[in-house]
Chain A
Amino acid sequence: MIEMVHVSKAYDVSPQALLDITLKVEKGKFLYLTGPSGAGKTTLLKLLYAAEPPTEGEIRVNGFDVVRLKPRQVPYLRRSLGVVFQGAKLLSHRTALENVAFALEVLGDRRREVFKKTTQTLHLVGLDSKVHCFPSQLSAGEQQRVAIARAIVNDPLLLLADEPTGNIDPGSAEEIMKLFEEINFRGTTVVLATHNDGLPLTASKERIVLERGRIVESSLPNPPAGD
């Protein structure tokens, strides 16, 4: 599912954004990526959806060799995963329904199918009654649900989330976290970056802690030696 081997990322302003990261996340897992801000959580996620190339190392995601991916192949990697950010990044002139449908339309899906999948997904995130609302008519928590619906409407194998509850009141945040758990329960692998390190771990949940670009703590099984 996800495999990173000796991955480093250097920027001009931050030469050690990530340093020698090696990890493996199996299908169906729920991985918390924690650590203080600036630890490299966002950078790690960006490498996974090929928003940026690593400076060193090997990355495999959903069977794609991310490092050697040609630009025209990137869309196909992106179709196999969903991404949710701290801000919902919704299109303000489109309704909730249209925002979610947009993700399927641009892949060339049939209209009838788009409508069916979109309404089903909005039902899953609990927004049946708000499908025709514009983002400005939705609360921050509801907007984030639309963003999540958009990320999963295409049935991705992997869901990446970068501080998805950062802008939301604690009550809504808890519900959003439950939604991620439900999505994970249905079989989607979830990698969720958060600065909240007090989250409970269960059998399927794992956690790695990043600090200054290095893994300082990990519940993941150690990668095989020599990798």
Chain B
Amino acid sequence: MRGLGFRMRRYFFRQAWQNLSQNPWINVITLGTITVSFLVLGLFLVIFLNAQELMAEWGRRIRVTAYLADSVNGERVRRLTEKVRGFEEVQEVQYRSKDEALRILEERLQGQRGMLKGLPRNPLPASLEIRLKPEYRNSLGVNKLVEKLRGAKEIADLQFGSEWVERFSAFMVLFQVLGLGLGGLLLLTTIFVISNTIRLNIFARRDEIEIMRLVGATGLFIRAPFYIEGILQGLLGAGLALAILFVFFQLFLTKVYEPLKFVLGNFPLHFLTSEQAAVLALGGLTLGLLGTQVSVGRYLRV
């Protein structure tokens, strides 16, 4: 709209408002549909992001423990640690001596420490606690690392819970694919709904448009109100959805989640960040624009 006067822009907004108020039901239904679409999209996003956070948390727990043979100590341990640290999958290696292992076990047993008193000597092996880089926190990464570690003579045994890792990775992939598919479908639906409303509005105003063309209104002048309308609908729908979602999220937190928090593992839930909410609102605006473009391009060639 660059180069157009204030008067013209005011005219466009007035016209857009007139369209909205002249066909209230079409627009209420559209707004409702966009809101519901964005509500589902936003809800999914909240669940997805929190689940991802949870999975990242679980991912951090994926580690490989290499138990060392009793004969290995001193310089050999240092060399092995250096070597393992050099593997590309490895983020961090922590050496845990026999004494440390025993101390940890004692801590865990708490009241039943007496059980350990009768032992003639410390039966626990020293170990290397190996944490993987985020991109290798899956069954493939774990298996690759385990293959490399198997060759080392210093290592007596390996523990890595591969079955759990495998299921976790599969679930993660499935979750992402499902998320992308559902998200894409919802976006398409929203574009379709907006373009359909604009189409109905173009149809309802076809007489006006014909006269506008006849008296020499420019294409921009005819199209601009429809674009404004589409953008407003998209933005308003997304905003409304965010507001509703926020209210329900807070209700869920206080009424459902808080009381069950300890049962469910004390994992903190987050709402969308302000950046994510802004992106969603911007998405509404963009979809409004795209939806209008589809209909204007097809039904309003001027």
Residue ranges of B at the interface with A (Cβ–Cβ < 8 Å) = 4-5, 7-8, 11, 22, 207-208, 210-219, 221-222, 302
Give CA–CA (A82, B222) in the complex, Å. Answer: 19
Give CA–CA (A108, B214) in the complex, Å. Answer: 15
Whether the pair A77, B7 counts as a contact (CB closer than 8 A) is no
Whether the pair A103, B207 counts as a contact (CB closer than 8 A) is no
Q: Which residue of A lies closest to B18 (CB)?
A: A93
Given contacts A91-B207, A108-B5, contact A71 B219 (CB under 8 A): yes
Whether the pair A108, B8 counts as a contact (CB closer than 8 A) is yes
Q: Which residue of A lies closest to B212 (CB)?
A: A106
Whether the pair A77, B211 counts as a contact (CB closer than 8 A) is no
Interface string of A9-42 (1 = CB under 8 A from B): 0000000000000000000000000000000000
Chain A residues near B302: list those with CB within 8 A: 71
Given contacts A105-B11, A108-B7, contact A75 B207 (CB under 8 A): no
Q: Which residue of B lies closest to A103 (CB)?
A: B215
Size of the A side of the interface (Cβ < 8 Å), in residues, is: 24
Give CA–CA (A103, B212) in the complex, Å. Answer: 7
Whether the pair A83, B216 counts as a contact (CB closer than 8 A) is no
> How many A-B contacts at CB < 8 Å in the complex?
54
Give CA–CA (A93, B221) in the complex, Å. Answer: 21
Whether the pair A89, B211 counts as a contact (CB closer than 8 A) is yes
Residue ranges of A at the interface with B (Cβ–Cβ < 8 Å) = 49, 71-72, 74-80, 82-83, 89, 91, 93, 102-103, 105-108, 110, 150, 154
Whether the pair A91, B5 counts as a contact (CB closer than 8 A) is no
Q: Which residue of B lies closest to A77 (CB)?
A: B216
Given contacts A108-B5, A110-B7, contact A78 B216 (CB under 8 A): yes
Q: Which residue of B lies closest to A106 (CB)?
A: B217
Give CA–CA (A105, B15) in the complex, Å. Answer: 11
Whether the pair B216, A76 counts as a contact (CB closer than 8 A) is yes
Closest beta carbon of chain B to A46's beta carbon, Å: 11
Q: Which residue of A lies closest to B14 (CB)?
A: A105
Given contacts A105-B11, A108-B11, contact A89 B207 (CB under 8 A): yes
Whether the pair A107, B211 counts as a contact (CB closer than 8 A) is no
Give CA–CA (A108, B207) in the complex, Å. Answer: 19
Given contacts A89-B207, A91-B208, contact A75 B11 (CB under 8 A): no
